[in-house]
Amino acid sequence: MSLPRQARLIRSGGYNPEAEGDYLEVSMGPQHPSTHGVFRMDVVLDGERVVKLKPVFGYLHRNHEKIAERISYLGSMPYTDRLDYFCSLTNNWAYALAVERLCGFTVPERAEYIRVILAELTRLQNHACLAGFLLQDMGATGTPLMYAFRERERILDLFESLTGARMMCNYMRFGGVRCDLPPGWVEQARKVVDEFPRFLDEFEALLSQNEIVIARTQGVGVLPPQLAINAGVTGPVLRASGVNYDVRKVDRYGIYDRFEFRVPLGEHGDVYDRYMVRVLEMRESVRILQQALRDIPRGPIQNPQVKQRGLRPKPGEVYARIESPKGELGFYLISDGGPNPYRYRVRPPSLVNLTVLEDMCRGHLVADVVVILGSIDIVMGEVDR
């Protein structure tokens, strides 16, 4: 790999007093093509081996949380789209769930099914693209990524036909969803879901037993389960380390208790396990979607008693969370009885999962750092907020 633009020699004292010669400190980012957005890593190298790594972020800070404290509850909904902008619909759901619990709102059954369907479609397109990006980080040509984006386009077509937008969907509402499914939408969604396993079979045949993929990922970036728990890591990164924790199973929010699905776990906590857990999660999402699309009932999609505009919840506080594609996404709200939150905080999985990056990279080659970062699956809109 080419040398990043900024590099300087520093004395070895402070890292390994017994080492001879100098360490090299390089700055990867904030516009380096391998850093997944405006993100920087200050890496200290002994030759090509990492001895220290410091994540540096903040380049994309938008003051999301303080803005939300100055506008109405409903006015924050489109802002949530801009957190994990790959997964706007799950962002919407987590925020809507928090306000609903704060106010005591109920959600009609059909709207609950629609939420699950959209959330699992979001998980499919997120994990597929993560696998494609990960292979690109290893130096593969664009073929795996283009296969992944082909499937993502089919899912985004569904989102667009329902919400009018492909990425910033702004679709969830307190007590339900903004509009009902258009005619033929369920049938088109069934077709996409039923054909998705064929893509997974082809993708795995191409990659999962590929000797280059195995050499670059197995035993690389190991995250011990106890460290993952202590650091608050969640989602596929945690489960790849063998920890059985999925908010869909723990909290059973929405109507997830109605669906049969397994929680895939890894055994080694390395990059390969993080890749395979996501592949297996996609297969489980297909199972959930097939059940939800089969059983979705008719009926209202919005609680008629819920007032969207001018909402003034009673004083109180709430924390609500969901299993987003990247991990536990939570919203903490405090109401003082006014038209906007007194306090509004986001628990973003991308940021929390990023805190163990140095532990996963230390001792590996600098070329492995990019692959390890890619296996965490971060979006800078969620890291910086």
State residue 255 phi and psi, 5-degree precision.
-125, 30
Beta bridge partners of 173: 176
Report residue 114's pLDDT band, with 50, 70 and 90 as the boundaries. Answer: very high
Q: For residue 79, give both structure tokens.
A: 């802002």
Q: What is the mean pLDDT of residues 355-360?
A: 90
Q: Is the per-residue pLDDT at 158 higher than 90?
A: yes
What are 8-30's pLDDT values in tens digits? 333 333 445 455 457 888 888 77
Q: What is the pLDDT of residue 255?
A: 92
Q: At 232, which amino acid appears?
A: G
Q: Which helix (H) or strand (E) holds 89?
A: helix 88-103
**Phi, psi (deg, nearest 5) at residue 327:** 140, -160
Q: Which residues contact 16 (CB under 8 A, 6 or more apart)?
A: 46, 51
Residue 7 in this model has a pLDDT that exceeds 80: no
**C-alpha count within 13 angstroms, C-beta hemisphere, residue 47:** 6
CB-CB contact of 275 with 372 (8 Å): no
**What digits encode the pLDDT tens for the residues 278-335?**
999 999 999 999 999 999 999 999 988 888 778 888 999 999 999 999 999 999 999 9
In the chain, where does DSSP find H-type helix? 64-68, 77-80, 88-103, 109-137, 143-163, 185-207, 211-217, 225-230, 236-240, 247-250, 271-295, 349-354, 357-361, 366-376, 380-384
Is the pLDDT at 93 greater than 80, yes or no? yes
Tell me the average pLDDT of the chain: 86
- Provide the pLDDT confidence category of residue 6 given band limits of 50, 70 and 90: very low
